[in-house]
Amino acid sequence: MVKPIKIVVVYQSLLGIYGDRGNGMVLAKRLSWRGIASELIMVEPGQPVPTNGAVYLLGGGEDQAQIAAVDALRADGGLFRALDDGAVLFSVCAGYQILGNSFTVGDDDTVIEGLGLLDVDTRRGPVRAVGEVLSHWMTPEGDDYLLTGFENHGGYTTLGPKAAPFARVELGVGNRGDGTDGAVQGRVMGIYPHGPLLPRNPLLADYLLGVALDRRLEPLPNEQVNDELATLRHQRINVVRHTKSLSEDTRWLGERS
Ligand code: GLN
């Protein structure tokens, strides 16, 4: 019997306040639509992180939960072993920050050592980044694919030389208002937007599955699902761009009055 592909959603009780578990659900769903068996595993602190997963997911959360997640993941060690065996790790916001070298928490900006899986460092930024994000992700085929999501983070992230930006921001703050969002280093990836991100941006979901399975997945044959998603995505992109131009008009009026 073919073994199911394991999708592991890590520590929702700590890093689950933004509904990022939807990223795991959509990965499993898109495998099942292709007739590929999968298993969606939710693992919580105190339970061993399985070492034989194909994709691991971390979501967003609050500062103190980030410290607890780092401690539990370091003590468990399973995630590190899975990555050594070639697993893919996709993380969002708080989950992204804790993979770095360091991040800060609390009003006194205490520096916490991260898991060291991404060459990034996060420090509190001048203003909290809150709102819609629109960014451009380059597919392996060289196509420009728009990612839509929303961000809500106080930490601003700077990339070191070993990490490459994941996407180019058109609207929003992303890493730190420098026109980039997220980071990729081998099979470890992180980015700021929630949404959840993968249901909103299905090509990215298929890309992650392709990396995990070491093959490019054929597009889904389900025309209705594809069309509905495409329509929703275009509506969302138009709304975000329109809102952005409205807010620019308002700022301009404010400056002139
Ligand atoms: N606590 C982190 C910050 O504010 C991450 C927040 C989040 O996951 N949305 O930067």
> 39-67 pLDDT, tens per residue?
999 999 999 999 999 999 999 999 999 99
Instruction: State how far Cα 124 lies from the chain centre.
Output: 19
**Domain shared by 170 and 235, yes or no:** no
**Domain shared by 138 and 231, yes or no:** no
6 with 54: CB under 8 angstroms?
yes
CA of 162 to the centre of ligand 1 (A): 23
Give me the pLDDT at residue 153, please.
97
At position 98, the amino acid (one-letter code) is: I
Backbone angles phi, psi at 47, to 5 degrees: -95, 145
Determine the structural domain holding residue 98 and report its residue range.
5-220
By most ligand atoms within 8 Å of CB, the mutation choice from 152, 156, 157, 192 for ligand 1 is: 152
Give me the pLDDT at residue 218, please.
86
Q: pLDDT averaged over the chain?
A: 93
**Domain shared by 166 and 228, yes or no:** no
Atom of ligand 1 nearest to the CA of 152: 9
Question: pLDDT tens, 161-208?
Answer: 999 999 999 999 999 999 999 999 999 999 999 999 999 999 999 999
**Domain shared by 241 and 154, yes or no:** no
Mean pLDDT score, 113-136 = 97
More confident residue, 249 or 111: 111
**Domain shared by 134 and 61, yes or no:** yes
Q: How far is it between the farthest Cα atoms of the chain?
A: 71
At position 62, the amino acid (one-letter code) is: E
74 is in an annotated binding site: no
Mean pLDDT score, 80-92 = 98
**104/111 Cα distance (integer angstroms):** 4
**Domain shared by 216 and 232, yes or no:** no
Mean pLDDT score, 85-109 = 97
CATH number for the domain harbouring residue 156:
3.40.50.880
C-beta neighbour count of 52 within 10 angstroms: 13
Instruction: State how far Cα 17 lies from the chain centre.
Output: 14
CA of 164 to the centre of ligand 1 (A): 21
**Domain shared by 142 and 251, yes or no:** no
**Domain shared by 61 and 182, yes or no:** yes
List 130's β-bridge partners, or say none: 152
Give me the pLDDT at residue 257, please.
38
**Domain shared by 132 and 22, yes or no:** yes
**Domain shared by 204 and 239, yes or no:** no
The count of domains in the chain is 2
**Domain shared by 155 and 251, yes or no:** no
**Domain shared by 105 and 187, yes or no:** yes
CA of 59 to the centre of ligand 1 (A): 10
Looking at the chain, the number of H-run helices and the number of E-run strands are: 7, 11
